[in-house]
Every structure is written in structure tokens, then in C-alpha cells.
Structure 1
Amino acid sequence: MFRQYLSILYITIYDTLLISHFYCKLMNIYERCVHMNHDEHKDEDKINPKKHFPTAENDIEAEEFASNDALEEHELTQEEIEQEEFRQLVLEAQQEALAKEAFLRNNPKARKRRVPRWIVWLMALVLLFQPVAFIFDIYSLPAIDFLKTSAKLSKRDDIAKWKQSVAVVLTEDGKGTGFSVSSDGLIVTNNHVVENTKQITVSFEEQGRFAASLVAQDSVNDLAILQIKDPPDVPTLKLAESPIYVPDTKVRFIGNPLNFFGIANEGTLIGESNWAGRDVPIILLNAPVYRGNSGSPVFQNNEVIGVVFAITELDSYGKVGMFIRSNEVLELLKEVE
């Protein structure tokens, strides 16, 4: 149970750090844009000094021009007076622009920001709440409930022993559940978990990961038998040969739902149901079954009475689990022997 909560905390911290890193990158890009804009103005001042500041040479020319005007002492026409006034207005506007530019150079903080800071903060908040929504979507209230149930059931000696035999079946397409049925490394799981996969890995909580190969499969009953190379020393589970499925009978099952591992849960039997043209009916289970529970063993009286393979929805129950009888598993194991 502690490991499950630790995994939730790890995912939350990871997402928060990722968002903080992204926000810092946004701020760095923003600051670089501001400094680049400032440097462009500085470069313009260095490249075009005549644009903003009159040189001494221009001053001399202006004085000579004024001296020549004074010597000629001719009377200006009305048109020339208007041109002179216009030139003075242009010079005043230029001086005002230069003064403003000098003020902004000396006071960079006074420059208007191209991207308002509140927009950056808004983007950061949106990114912050995205992983929070994702976490609540994955770890919903029902999920928290089955974590509590698993913690309670795992204190029982029989369930603690059963959990040692239950493994995670990993492929390039995802994961499911499997369980050990023989000391030589035979693992039972669902066919849809390992079908058309190139690599299969079986992982036990304490013993680690082991390569496995597909040695038998039943696509009609959605069953598969895996063979582990160099199998670990784990307990094996006993398959019931003649189980009786009585409605409202309590059963327990162990699997790897959602992003969790080794979750024990319980439910009650609903009854038989014909499914997808099978000759033998499947059994409906009123219990919290989720994606990742495929291949989970269902227990009754210290025996495995079935293998979870899917979920469906009933008007009177809502979402319910479905499992295949243990007799079908025993028939498939005969092909391996």
C-alpha cells in the first residue's frame, strides 16, 4: 500500500518539476526578447551616429552657412520663412525623440514589455493544473477505495502468499496480469495481452523480471500460457477442477489495474452469461475491475476458479468484470504437457 502512495507522490513531484522547468524556459525566452530589442537600439546608435547627434563638422558648416546669409543680407521670401519654420519643427521633434530614447536606454525597466507578465503566469497556471486533472482522472475516488481495500486484504496470510505468485506481464503494447501455475515456470494470462507481440517479460515483485515465450494460446477463450526461462522460486497457484459458481458468493482477485501493481480486491458472483459465441458460458463478477486486470486470478476456497479477461456494463449493476472458468485453463495446460 505504501508503495502505491509513493508512486502517486513521485508522479505528482515529477509533473510539478517539469512544469517549473517549462515556465523557466518561457521566462528566459521572454527576457532574451527584451534584451535583444534593447541591443538593437544600441546597435543602431553605434552604426548611425549622424542620425541622432550632429557632428562638429556639421556645426561648422551650419555656422558658415549662417555667416554667408548674414553677409548677403538679403530679405527672405514668405516661402523661405515657412520652410525655415518647418525645419525648426522637425529639429524639435527629433530632439524630443532623442531625449526619450536616451531615457529608455538609461532606464531599461521603463521600456514597455512586449509580452505582459500576466500572460506568462496564466500559461504556467494552465500547465500546472493539467497534470493535476490527469492524476484525478487516473486515480479517481473508486481507485482510492480499492487501494484501501487492497491494504486491508493484504494483511491476510493467504492473500499475502497468493500475491507472491501473481506477476506483471509486459509487452511493447502494454501490460496485464499473469500468475504461476507450475514450478517449471508456466504462467497463465489472457491471449489479448500477448497476442502479436515480439517480446514478453514477466515481472515478479521481489524476484524481478524474466523473459518469457508463448507456448500455448486459446483465442476463443482468450487464454495464453507463457514459459519463463530460468524461472524464479515462487509459490504456484492451484486451479479448481470442478468449481461451483453460486450467485452472491464472495470471491477475491489479484491484479495490476491502471498504474498499480499487486492489488488485491473482492467482489461477488453475479452468474453465468453467454458471450461472443462461446460454447461454455463465462462468469460475471460484481467487483471493481479495471484495465490492467486482464489475466487476474479469481480465488475461492484457496483455489483459482477463473481468470479475468474483460469488463462489461449491465443495467442493474453498472460496470462488472467477466472471467473464464478454471476448467478452460486446465484444458489448455494439457497442450503444454
Structure 2
Amino acid sequence: MEIGIDSFAAASAKAGGTAADSMQAIDELIERIVFADKAGLDVFGIGEHHRREFLDAAPTVLLAAAAAKTNRIRLTSAVTVLSAADPVRVFQNFATLDLISKGRIEMVVGRGSFTEAFPLFGLKLEDYDELFTEKLDLLLKIRANETVNWSGRFRPALHNQAIYPRPLQNPLPVWIGVGGTPASFVRAGTLGLPLMVAIIGGETHRFRPLVDLYRAAGKKAGHSPEQLTVGLHSLGYVANTTEEAVDDYYPGYAETFTRIGKERGWPPVTRSHFNAQTGMFGALLVGGPEEVAEKIKRHSEALGGISRLTFQMDNAGLSHKKLVQSIGLIGSKVMPFVNG
């Protein structure tokens, strides 16, 4: 199983953080990616948001900086909000990244879990699914063909248009990022694309019927089981002991998800809720190395086997030092436990 990190490039936790604080946060993020490369992790992903608390509005720029300073780790988006982007520019950016990285770039494309990108780029939220369907179709056509003929509703048509540069990898890896919408799982399976499932709460095993839908749709469309790979994006944090991990992670987690909950109508986070999420069946991967490794194995079994697991851990206000320590433990202890 490949194991790595996804980051949303959290901004400084300081009230009224300055541009200098943002500069430091980005510098530390690149340091963590370089450290993850040296620590033996398989993949590092950068999200895309257009909110004050995140610095990942231009993820390909961050990935380019990381690509120039790393040697072996695969670099990916997590996710590219394709509904709000031009697929031509998305492909060109990632093809260029693939050349910079010498063939280590992937992209996970999705519709996004926040909605700020739609008004920002002059799009209608009611076109949420239609935008993604059409733009994914164009992106895959560009990936497969140097010269493209295409027409759609949301973008000017392309007539015998050659699109450059071409990536080193052929094809450039494209994953579909999904939450809990059945149609999204079916679409990924029908297209034969690898699936990245974001499970940030609840009980992981409850997603098994959706993963089965994905595999059934892929089989029906004629894709081999080996092509229908499943990855899991989970909130998590590893410390030397479970007690240390919980003490470090809980305060920032509770603050972040209580704040987001006010926007979405969720109840405030309580310690009992958190304890349920870090328990045997809950989605959070927070604990000591051996406990987290065992939980990753249970998650994989519950979903019928996963090929990739990414931790999202910079959403709890943890210091750069704590995050680096956690990455080191994942590389030195969690990965050997999982794959040994």
C-alpha cells in the first residue's frame, strides 16, 4: 500500500496573520514535502481552496516548488477543483509539472467540498455536476489525444487544436476524488479511473457499498480489477503514543470542525464525538504508530482492499515541528507495520 500526506497548506494560526506569516507557512510546507521524500513516503498531495485559512489557491505552483526539491516522492493534487477550471490549462500545468518532476506527477480531480470557487470564477452552483462531467470529458480527451476536436456547453469548442506540452508519463495519472455521492463512484468505475475516497467522519466500513458500486460499474464497462484501484484520504496524526497524539490533535480539530460546522449546520465537536471517531470503526487515524497501522489495515479490509492511504493532518493547528515528527513516524514505523 502506498502511504502519504495530503495538505491544504494551512495558513498561520495567528490572528490577523500577515503576508510574512504566509511566506513562513509555505516555506515550512515545502520543507515537510522534502522531509517526506527523504523519510520514504510514497506520495504528497496539495489541495485547492479559495479561503482565508488555506494557502493552496494555486496548487500547481506549490507542486512545482516541491518537484524541484524532491527526487522520488510522487506529487499530486488533492483535489483539483475541475468544475471551476479550464481543462486545457489544467492539462498544460500538470504536463509541465510532470516534466519538471521527471514523471512523478498525478492529479486527483473533483468537484470540491467548498463552494467559493463558483462565484469567484463566474460559475453557477446549480451547474455543479454538469460542469464537472463536461470538463472531465474534455480533460480525458486532451490526455489521450495531442490534437483535439471537442464541443460543449461551458467552454468554447476546439477544432483540430493541438495542445502542448505533452507529459513524460503516458497517460498522465488522473484519479477521481469523491465524497459520498453514489453517482460519482459509478462514473469513476465506468471510466476505469482510480478512485480516491475522502472519508473525514463517520465509520469507514459504511462506504463499502459505494466502493462496491465503483467496482461493479468498472467491471460492467469492461475494465480489469487491477485498473480499478481505490485510495483513501483520511484525517489523521501520528505521535509517539496514542495519549500524546490525542492531546496534540484534539484541541485544533475541535476548533476547526466546530467553525466549519457553523457554516454547514453541523453540531459543535465534543470529546465524546472525537473519541468515537478515533475508536475502532471511526474514520480518524489518530494515535501511536502501531495503533494507526492496525487501523489502516482494518480500513483496507473494510473497503475490500485499498492501494493508497493519505493522511490529512494540517487541519488541527499543529506546529511545523509536530507535523515533521509525525511524518517521520509514518515513514519509519507506520509504513513498515502496514506493509511488512
Fold shared by both chains (TM-score > 0.5): no
Structure number with higher relative contact order (C-alpha < 8 Å, ≥ 6 residues apart): 2
TM-score, structure 1 normalization: 0.24
Determine which structure has the larger strand proportion and give its number.
1
**Quick check: which has more Rg, 1 or 2?**
1
TM-score scaled by structure 2?
A: 0.24
